[in-house]
């Protein structure tokens, strides 16, 4: 195949994978403390619309990003209150978050449809690095949020597996009773990481409305939040594997888009199904894999903690 075409598809795969990656990284943190948040789709939509609104208001896409992060964190805080303090069913609360986020973003974004973003995250070639053959145009001719994700993944990996706060975080998700008996504040820990998870989803949303699209459309996430949740299972809660997974999903997305442009005679309806069908297949494969190797979800995932439960 054509060299330029290959690098273009791979670069597009990274762009398409980045919002999924951010959302999945956030979800890994929340689930590592034992809280499942199925509301990624809703948090991303709220992040996307808030980021877009703030960018229009201030003219700065960085302010937009900040607003998206705050909005994502705030919506996640609702989930935290419901599931951690009120001990509500995590699945249903997450669904509520998705429905609410979809409704709220549609409500707020009605007047924004069709307006182009006044200021966006655009491509910045990194000097020297972008000159590396093949890797340069694929990896280092991207926007700042992609570069940020390159840094985030190793930092998060070190945090989770090599630091004391990371150890505390994992212990809360594996065995909150043990963590609590050693003085780890289970509730506070869960709140913190669920809210950070929401902030990450906010970034993912802002990426869609300020870098990927860059405009606001109702339901513009198109199921990416759910794909991110599947990706968390595929990643076995490991940020490094999430990175690889996100780019594979991004690749399927980019490839479908490319094939449409090439007009190969398959209906775009079928090509658009590809990411969803691919996610389902990967999920089946990943489940078989984790069962064989017996590496499962965090031990206390979906279990509310009550110290005086007898």
Partner 1 sequence: MPQVPLVEMKGITKRFPGVLANDHVSFEARSGEIHALLGENGAGKSTLMSILTGLYRPDEGQIFIKGKPVQLKNPKEAIGLGIGMVHQHFRLVQPFSVAENIVLGMKNLGLFIKKEKVEKEIEELSRRFALKVEPKAKIWQLSVGEQQRVEIVKMLYRGAEILILDEPTAVLTPQEVRELFKTLRQTANQGKAVILITHKLNEVMEIADRITVLRGGKSVATVNKVETNKIELTKLMVGREAMLVVDKKPPDLGPVILQLENVNCLSDKGYPALKDASLEIRGGEILGVAGVAGNGQRELAEVITGLRRVTRGKVKIGNKDYTNVSPREVIEARVAYIPEDRVGMGLVPNLNAMENVILKNYREKPVCGPLFINGDYVKNRARQLVDDFNIKMTGVDKAVKLMSGGNLQKLLFAREVSCEPQLIVAVYPVRGLDVSAIEAVHDILLAQREAGVAILFISEDLDEIFKLSDRIAVLYDGQVMDVLPTGKTNVEEVGMLMAGTRPEREVG
Partner 2 sequence: MPAPVIQQGSPFTIKLEKRLTTSRLNNILIPVISVFLALVVGAIFIYVTGNDPVKIYQTMLKGAFGSKYGISETVVKAIPLILTGLAVSIAFKMQLWNIGAEGQLYMGAWAAAYVALFMPDLPGFLVLPTMFLFGFLGGAIWALIPAIPRALIGVNETITTLLLNYVAILWFGYFVYGPWRDPKGFNFPLSAAFPEAARLPSMFDTRVHYGLIIGLVAVVIIYIMLKHTKWGYEIRVIGESPNAARYAGMNIVRNILLVMILSGGLAGIAGMSEVAGLTHRLQPTISPGYGYTAIIIAWLAKLNPFAILLVSFLFGGLLVGGYSVQTLGLPAATAYMLQGLILFFVLGGELFNRYRLRIRERGGK
Q: Which residues lie near partner 2 (CB under 8 A)?
A: 38, 42, 78, 81-82, 86-89, 91-93, 95-108, 110, 218, 222-223, 226-227, 229-230, 233, 267, 269-270, 272-273, 276-277, 279-280, 283-284, 287-288, 291, 308
Nearer to partner 1, 106 or 166 (CB): 166
Helix, coil or strand: residue 100: helix
Q: Does 184 bind partner 1 (CB under 8 A)?
A: yes
Q: How far apart are CA 268 and CA 261, in angstroms?
A: 10
Q: How far apart are CA 213 and CA 205, in angstroms?
A: 11
* Residue 5: HSE in the Cβ half-sphere, 13 Å Cα cutoff: 8
Contact 227, 21 (CB under 8 A): no
Contacting partner 1 within 287-306 (CB under 8 A): 294, 299
Q: How far apart are CA 275 and CA 179, in angstroms?
A: 39
Tokens of 140: 């280092």
Nearer to partner 2, 95 or 303 (CB): 95
Q: How far apart are CA 98 and CA 46, in angstroms?
A: 10
The gap between the terminal CA atoms of the chain, to the nearest Å, is: 64
* Cβ at position 236, least distance to partner 1 in Å: 12
* Cβ at position 72, least distance to partner 1 in Å: 26
Q: How far apart are CA 69 and CA 43, in angstroms?
A: 10
Nearer to partner 2, 101 or 251 (CB): 101
180 binds, among partner 2, partner 1, none (CB under 5 to 8 A by kind): partner 1
Among 193, 218, 234, CA closest to 30: 193
Q: Does 182 bind partner 1 (CB under 8 A)?
A: yes
Q: Does 180 bind partner 1 (CB under 8 A)?
A: yes
233 binds, among partner 1, partner 2, none (CB under 5 to 8 A by kind): partner 2
123 binds, among partner 2, partner 1, none (CB under 5 to 8 A by kind): none
Nearer to partner 2, 100 or 193 (CB): 100
Tokens of 50: 């808030």
272 binds, among partner 2, partner 1, none (CB under 5 to 8 A by kind): partner 2
162 binds, among partner 1, partner 2, none (CB under 5 to 8 A by kind): partner 1
Contact 258, 209 (CB under 8 A): no
Among 23, 25, 153, CA closest to 101: 23
Contacting partner 1 within 147-176 (CB under 8 A): 162-165, 167-168, 170-171, 174-175
Helix, coil or strand: residue 69: helix
* Residue 285: HSE in the Cβ half-sphere, 13 Å Cα cutoff: 10
178 binds, among partner 2, partner 1, none (CB under 5 to 8 A by kind): partner 1
165 binds, among partner 1, partner 2, none (CB under 5 to 8 A by kind): partner 1
Contact 41, 226 (CB under 8 A): yes
Nearer to partner 1, 163 or 268 (CB): 163
- When binding is defined by CB under 8 A, the residue of 155, 178, 281, 284 that contacts partner 1 is 178
Nearer to partner 2, 61 or 224 (CB): 224
As to burial, measured by CB atoms within 10 angstroms (0-12 exposed, 13-18 middle, 19+ buried), residue 66 is middle
Positions in the binding site for partner 1 (CB under 8 A): 162-165, 167-168, 170-171, 174-175, 177-185, 294, 299, 307-308, 310
């Amino acid at each position: 195949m054509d060299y330029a075409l290959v690098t273009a598809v791979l670069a597009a795969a990274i762009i398409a994978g980045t919002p999924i990656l951010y959302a999945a990284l956030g979800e890994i943190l929340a689930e590592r403390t034992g809280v499942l948040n199925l509301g990624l789709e809703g948090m991303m939509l709220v992040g996307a619309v808030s980021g877009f609104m703030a960018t229009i208001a201030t003219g700065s896409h960085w302010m937009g990003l900040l607003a998206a992060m705050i909005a994502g964190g705030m919506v996640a805080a609702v989930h935290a209150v419901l599931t951690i303090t009120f001990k509500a069913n995590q699945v249903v609360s997450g669904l509520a978050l998705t429905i609410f986020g979809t409704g709220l973003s549609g409500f707020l974004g009605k007047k924004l449809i069709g307006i182009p973003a006044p200021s966006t995250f655009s491509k910045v070639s990194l000097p020297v690095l972008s000159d590396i053959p093949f890797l340069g145009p694929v990896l280092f001719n991207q926007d700042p949020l992609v570069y940020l994700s390159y840094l985030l993944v190793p930092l998060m990996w070190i945090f989770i597996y090599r630091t004391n706060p990371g150890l505390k975080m994992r212990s809360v998700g594996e065995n909150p009773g043990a963590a609590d008996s050693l003085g780890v504040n289970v509730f506070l820990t869960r709140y913190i990481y669920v809210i950070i998870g929401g902030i990450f989803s906010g970034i993912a949303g802002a990426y869609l409305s300020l870098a990927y699209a860059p405009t606001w459309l109702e339901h513009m996430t198109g199921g990416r939040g759910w794909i991110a949740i599947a990706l968390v299972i595929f990643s076995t809660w490991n940020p490094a594997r999430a990175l690889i997974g996100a780019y594979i999903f991004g690749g399927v997305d980019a490839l479908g888009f490319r094939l449409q442009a090439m007009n190969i005679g398959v209906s775009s309806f079928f090509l658009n199904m590809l990411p969803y069908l691919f996610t389902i297949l990967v999920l089946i494969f990943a489940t078989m894999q984790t069962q064989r190797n017996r590496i499962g979800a965090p031990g206390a995932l979906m279990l509310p903690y009550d110290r005086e439960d007898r």
